[in-house]
Structure 1
Amino acid sequence: MEKRKDNEEANNSLVSFSALRKDVANVLDFMERLKNEEDQKAVDVDLIESLKLKLTFICTYVQLSYSDLEQFDDIMTRKRQEVENLLQPILDDDGKDVGCKYVLTSLAGNMDECISLYHRSKSDATMMDEQLDFLLLNLYHLSKHRAEKMFPGVTQYEVLQNVCGNIRDFHGLIVNGCIKHEMVENVLSLFQLMAERVGHFLWDDQNDENAQLSKLDENDRDSRLFKLAHLLLKIVPTELEVMHICCTLKASTSAEVGRFIRKLLETSSDTLREYLIHLQEHMITVITPSTSGARNIHVMMELLLIILSDMPKDFIHHDKLFDLLARVGALTREVSTLVRDLEEKLRNKEGNDQTNRATLDLLENIELLKKDLKHVYLESLLGGKRKRVCGLKL
């Protein structure tokens, strides 16, 4: 009986959310048309952007309401009221047609119903592809707003935006059938987990939409960046898995897949560098330097960071640069795995001989990459002479 009731609530939630999505699309479409109609009052572009952001927020956290978000009712009610306040002048305008006012009224009702239904539902079941795709898209827009409007120039927020965008685009390729499900079965579950983690961070990271990181209290700023660094440690490995899969898709004839791989690699340098920096800091905190194998892992991270930071991109052929970044991404993925394994073995007080052997093997692969920097990637730059490139003697 209880299970049947839960299923009914879940179905009602899905129906209401589907209606909300339709209303949101209709309202935004109407606002865009209103902006372009010559005989209408001028519509503030900032108002439309603010409305989009608030509706994105509501849709995101309606989907994540099962996650026990703090002050959910109060915050969602406030956001819903802010949306209504933005739309009220249009509702009060006698010149607007009945259909328009119906859509706006329907939106208000569906927001209330979704907030109520979803908050009562504690279902954290695996989302359907379309639901997850919509959630990933909205999280990308929320992270983009933070990176570009609230905290411009802050690398960590830019990396968050890039990771959210890349994962959403990759998932979109799966939804559209460009990538077969069987090729990505091992990572599909990671996408929803990543979305939940990003959603939690952005919920806790709320502030005035016009806030600037430089104007925040120093403790608040440091706290935000510390939490963001912790988030990146959790979610970048998902992008590393996507990069790993993309290495198997190089021969794909799909134009969409090709464009995605190029975009992924174009943003990968900053993501990998930022991840390695935070991984190194994390390792210093949780693993003592005297731990067997720890020093070699630090050496590997330093070498990869030097390559990523000082790589003379202008002197490397475009195709070779992508290949180099893919190799650095693969090595970073292996380093990440080694750190997690070593951390787990220390926590469980297990021997780490196997990890040490893997560390030595990986160190050899990084040394091989150093040689390839000279003989494959930078041959034309070096002109057959030994030089110091990327901080490394080649």
Structure 2
Amino acid sequence: MNFDYSKINFEHIRIVAYNCLSLFKVSKFPIRIVPLFDKFDDLILIPYTQAASAKNISVNELEEKVTHSNDAATLKRGNKFFVFYNDNTYEKTVERIRFSIIHELGHIALNHFNDEKTLLTRSALSNEKYERLEVEANFFAAEFLSPKALIPPEWKVSEIQSIFRVSKDSAIKTQHFISQNLWFQNRVYSEIIKKDYKFYSSDTLETLLPPFCTIKQAFNTSGFVFCNNCFSFTRVSPHQETIYCCVCGNQLKNKVYDKQYLFTIYDLEVRNLKNYTSIKLNDIGKAMECPNCHALQEEKGEFCDVCGVYLINRCTGNPDTGFGYNNLGEPCENGKILGGRSRYCRYCGCMSTFYQQGILPSYSDDATSTEVTTDTQPF
């Protein structure tokens, strides 16, 4: 049986979504999802990993016995709504996680729990009703995360994707609607208070993580730590006690995030995170195109045969590298091979050979503003 979309009042759902944006006092995009739920005592946001740990069960058991979903679910207990979400960024893209959480918020805002149901599952509802509730919650999430009333018609799909942190598929649908319905820009929605909205371009999580070059680096990474000075991630190895930021060299004492569960820190810092210049390296850590003169290189040799630049990014904290030795402590074993954007060694804090040679700029010279300005007035 084909679903009858004509039975759904999409304009009403749009107004509810815009009312929620006003209620949550949203004025900057992409929206930071996690802090939204801290504004209200009756909305509790819980990652699957936290819920599973509290119940002393696996995430798979949590999905089977409690949430009945691999994405997200809402449990109603009295007047409180507990929104559980799969925070595994190995399994889900950040965009998928964000959409799933706001999808659940849509169920709450659209009063889908008014019939005393405590959990919305397909088995507890007729197919037609379940489908209708899902379509309504999906439309709410799309309008909440990327409100069409605020998007200038000239914005491209890539801009919508980056500024609102939504999937490419969602951005395509949004851009198509706006381009085909130019009348929509003249609509006035009083539910969204006229204000100076700020828009920020944000890179994907995968782009912002330090790139691997060697197989050893890939297998020897247990998590990431976020630097509040230069707003970047640094890899952390198991049992690594002292950690230096690979971009600005600051010693880091922040919480280490498991490499599978980076959604929270990404969501909280999405407008601050910066993507820095990185040199592409092969699987032994060598640049196969000289970053100085751009000459293509042979597999053998460590120096560019045209300009003489050293092509492997190593820690200079060992006198055996032949580079200026910064003795900040114990010599770094064998002058460790570093990633393609490392200005500093994450183990000892010494300069990298790429930074010392001027191949990589300082983080302060490399950082760029992510704010997007537009002269378009949506109202």
- With structure 1 as the length reference, what TM-score do the two structures score? 0.29
Richer in strand (by share): 2
Instruction: Specify which structure has the bigger relative contact order, considering alpha-carbon pairs within 8 angstroms and separated by 6 or more residues.
Output: 2
- With structure 2 as the length reference, what TM-score do the two structures score? 0.30
